[in-house]
Structure 1
Amino acid sequence: MTLYVFYSIFFVLLPGDLANAIRNRTNLVFGLYHSMFEWFHPLFLEDKQNGFKTRLFPDMKTLPELKEIVETYKPSVVFSDGDWDAPDTYWNSTGFLAWLYNESPVKDTVVVNDRWGTGMECHHGGYYTCGDRCNPGHLLTHKWENCFTACHMIFKIDKHSWGFLRTSNVDDYLTIQEILGQVIITVSTGGNVLINVGPTSYGKIAPIYEERLRQMGAWLKVNGEGIYSSIPWKYQNDTTNPHIWYTSSKDNQTVYASLLVWPNNTTEILLGAPVSSSNTTVTLLGSNVGPLNWRSASESGGIIIDVSNIEAYSLASDWAWIFKLQNITPKQINK
């Protein structure tokens, strides 16, 4: 599962400058957020007063604006929002999406979410967002995204606001442990992660945001193998150890077991879901210790990893750790 980090910096940087910077300097995918409505726009208020039987606002403002955004900036992601007051027929969402996928300059590459009218969330769209800060904790059959703040994970680093709040204190921000926990669980259950950063009025990113992003970047540098281009495994959460979440390589030759909490006062870590073979190998990403010793937990499955040779100070990761398991199979589910 590919992890997309989508920085939604609203109305601060010119979209064209931001698009060029991302495309020329990174390998990130560029996308844009767009609100379907404006709370106090007179045309929207008039349509609302008429029970949305008139369509002045979408015809004169929303739809022309959406087409202009797509034709000018050519985003690979269109994140729609602000749709909930009216049905998709009022917004003419199907008309716009038909144009987007059949005629627009990004028709072969664009992806959209599920916010295109009342009742659309979690039912229609290239990927589901469902609601802010949604993390179902189990595998979904349709692509989904966690917007941190409210099953779409827009990931707000600030717990309370999409924007920058000068009155926030350190307890109002997610810790790096909380952020990585959400990233790991989301990717394990087949989702993408959308992280929101609220800039100041001067367009600057506050130091605490920078710290969290740098921490996550450092962690991904060590552990990205278990995140980028991975897919969900047969099990998401371990059957025995609640702090373990799994992903798999696309060829199913390697399984990654992400450990959210390193156990205290023990030299062994129990995994209940894998079934070992004589060729099983276990390594810890970022560790200079070679293959780790392990033994079968029982005849029916499970393995116990010996971590006695790993010193805490030598760990490349300070917050979450990924074990690389090769030549294993999943325990059979009894029906």
Structure 2
Amino acid sequence: MFSKILWTWVILIAFAFGAQAQNTIHPTSSEYEYPTDPKVVEKLEHWRDQKFGILIHWGIYAVPGIVESWSIVNEDWINRRDTTQSYEDYKKWYWGLSEKFNPQGFDPTQWADAAAKAGMKYVVFTTKHHDGFNMFDTQFTDYKISNGPFKNNPKADVAKYVFDAFRDKNMMIGAYYSKPDWHSQYFWWDYRATPDRNVNYDIRKHPWRWNQFVKFTHNQLNEITSNYGAIDILWLDGGWVRPLETVNEEVLSWGAPIPEFSQEIDMPKVAEMVRENQEGILIVDRTVHGPFENYRTPEQGIPAEMSPDPWESCITLGGAWGYVPNDKFKPSRKVIHLLIEIVAKGGNLLLGVGPTADGLFLPEQVSRLEEIGAWLDVNGEGIYNTRAIETFKDGKLYFTKGKANELFAILPLEEGEQLESSISFEVNDPKKGSKITVLGESQSLKWKSENGKTVVSIPKNLQKKLSGGAAIVLKYEGN
């Protein structure tokens, strides 16, 4: 029986890991490689229009409410307070959670409804995290949701029902898949100790075993992209599984050990296979810069500058990716401000929301998502289908550009902040005679050019009406 003290301690690991990653955006000198396949280009540009998605981490780690997978790694930053339990016993306990994972309340329609009300346009769902527990009905291992106490439930093939629910909301579908698999004997071999996150044997000495792992990985990716309807995004996590020659300063900055050999799963073959199954599918081989990283994915933070290349910040709604008890969720105003900054800098926001062990979003999560959606219902024109411009910011104002050359000036407002009688900016001038409006309001605003600035007057009725909101958006035609 795993003690409550240890449960609490591992919960703390979740927040520590989140804090470790928060606002840490690793610089890289590697140039982005824009895809050449026209079908991939078409889907990529469509994805760039969507701006806002949901990332759902759900697995056996939801049962005790602890950090996903990482507590079974034997690295210095992982601490387990209960020193009476051996590392091997802990791993057995963790993997044994599969026998307790029986989410009778599993309701993907609730998830999809909440995401749609939030204004989200795509989903990325964890088909398998690093711990190797599969949330789809794979035929290549028994370690899966459809083989435990949930196996007789009509929705036992969880990924199918998640993807179907989000397709019903006309969302793009993304499959998260972990390249490392710590449960597989072809990755963490019981014959050896498991000193860190990497494969625990020398691939050069045991090529057969690694080839079996590569075959297993390809078989599972073939299943995901063959058996689950239209998949738009293959989101590959576990960037330490990569060719040795691609290890760069960014990878070294993680502080994880680097083996002296490649952990190569033959990405060219993976790409060929999944694109035969799903024409134009986006591949996101996270942090492995090159032809199989169709967009980049900074985690728990926002880059300092605008980038014209496709990218997406993945940021949690609370303090953890998955469900943990008593998590503290960001106010909707904070998420809206993150979304504004990310979009103005050229990115998308992928917001992490973790369901409970019973398979439901908490009321607090749902209410936050509804509040975000209420703002986007009025102001989404300044977010969706826009692109970034070099002069993306002036003071507190962020700017985006629509496809018909319209410009949007977005002013975030803090809690209790009052709108002033005017808004001024020195960049992105309106065209002479341009009409300036506030999204959601019909009246035209008076404006003038003065000493190199555009000064927009805000009448008292709008100052009073809009001061309580998270942000206001001005729309106008630019020069």
Normalising by structure 1, we get a TM-score of 0.82
Change (3 A) 1:137 1:189: same
C-alpha contact (below 8 Å) 2:177/2:237 kept by paired residues: yes
Relative to structure 1, the CA distance from residue 266 to residue 138 in structure 2 (aligned partners, 3 Å threshold; closer, same or farther) is same
In the aligned structure 2, how far is the partner of 1:322 from the partner of 1:17?
A: 37
Tell me which residue corresponds to 1:16: 160
Equivalent residue number for residue 388 of structure 2: 232
Name stretches of at least 5 consecutive residues in structure 1 with no aligned partner: 149-155, 330-335
1:114 aligns with 2:285: yes
Matching of residues 173-252 of structure 1 within 5 Å: 173-238=329-394, 241=395, 243-252=396-405
- Percentage identity across paired residues of the two chains: 23
Question: Cα distance, 1:123 vs. partner?
Answer: 7.8
C-alpha deviations, 1:276-310, integer Å up to 9, x for none? 4431221111125x001111132xx3211111333
Offset of residue 192 of structure 1: 1.3
1:93 aligns with 2:246: no
Q: Distance between the aligned counterparts of 1:215 and 1:31, measured in 2?
A: 24
Residue of 80, 87, 99 corresponding to 2:236? 80
For 2:302 and 2:419, the matched residues in 1 are separated by 31
CA distance in 2, matches of 1:92, 1:305: 56
Deviation at 1:7, TM superposition (A): 3.9
Post-superposition CA distance 1:14-38 (Å, at most 9, x none)? 11112222223x1211111111112
1:310 maps onto 2:461 in alignment: yes
1:242-284 per-position Cα deviation (integer Å, ceiling 9, x unaligned)? x1111111121x1001101276473111112132443122111
Higher helix share: 2
- Does 2:301 match 1:127? no
State the alpha-carbon separation in 2 of the partners of residues 217 and 266 from structure 1: 25
Q: In the alignment, which residue of structure 2 is the partner of 1:151?
A: none
TM-score (norm 2): 0.59
Alignment partners' CA distance in 2, 1:276 and 1:167: 48
2:229 paired with 1:61 = no
Contact 1:44 1:56 in 2 (8 A): no
**Residues 177 and 15 (structure 1 numbering): CA distance in 2 closer, same or farther, change over 3 Å?**
same
The aligned runs of 1:130-141 (5 Å cut-off) are: 131-141=298-308
Deviations 1:195-225 (A, max 9, x none): 1111111111011111111011111100011
Instruction: Indicate the residue corresponding to 2:45 in structure 1.
Output: none
Q: Provide the aligned length of Structure 1 versus Structure 2.
A: 302
Q: Deviations over 1:64-87 (max 9, x none)?
A: 111100101131111110231442
Return 5+ residue gaps in structure 2 as ranges: 1-48, 60-105, 109-157, 190-197, 244-261
Give the distance between the partners of 1:215 and 1:230, measured in 2 at CA.
Answer: 22
| Partners of 1:137 and 1:186 within 8 A in 2 | no
* Superposition map of 1:273-312 within 5 A: 273-288=427-442, 290-298=443-451, 301-312=452-463
Quick one: which amino acid aligns to residue 23 of structure 1? R
Whether the aligned pair in 1 keeps the contact of 2:391 and 2:428 (CA below 8 Å) is: no
Match of 1:257 in 2: 409
Name the counterpart of 1:50.
201
Q: Which amino acid aligns with 1:30?
A: I
Question: Quick one: distance in 2 between partners of 1:200 and 1:256?
Answer: 38
What SS does structure 2 have at the residue aligned with 1:41?
A: coil
User: Contact 1:276 / 1:296 at 8 angstroms: preserved in 2?
Assistant: no
Q: Distance in 1 between matches of 2:357 and 2:366?
A: 16
One-letter code aligned to 2:188: L
Q: Which moved more, 1:13-22 or 1:72-81?
A: 13-22
Asked if 1 retains the 8 angstrom alpha-carbon contact of 2:425 and 2:455, the reply is yes
Of 165, 174, 178 in structure 2, the residue corresponding to residue 31 of structure 1 is 174
Contact 1:286–1:316 under 8 Å retained in 2:
no
Q: In the superposition, relative to structure 1, how do residues 188 and 123 fare at CA in structure 2: closer, same or farther (>3 Å)?
A: farther
Look up the SS of the partner of 1:44 in the other structure. coil
Structure 1: how far apart are the matches of 2:326 and 2:268?
42
Q: 1:173 to 1:6 in 2, by over 3 A?
A: closer
Pair 1:16–1:124, CA change in 2 (3 A)? closer
Task: Read off the aligned partner of 2:404 and give its amino acid letter.
Answer: D
Question: Secondary structure at the residue paired with 2:448?
Answer: strand
Deviations 1:80-113 (A, max 9, x none): 1023144276211221012223x22x123x1121
The one of the two structures with greater contact order (alpha-carbon pairs below 8 A, sep at least 6) is 2
Matched residue, 1:322: 473
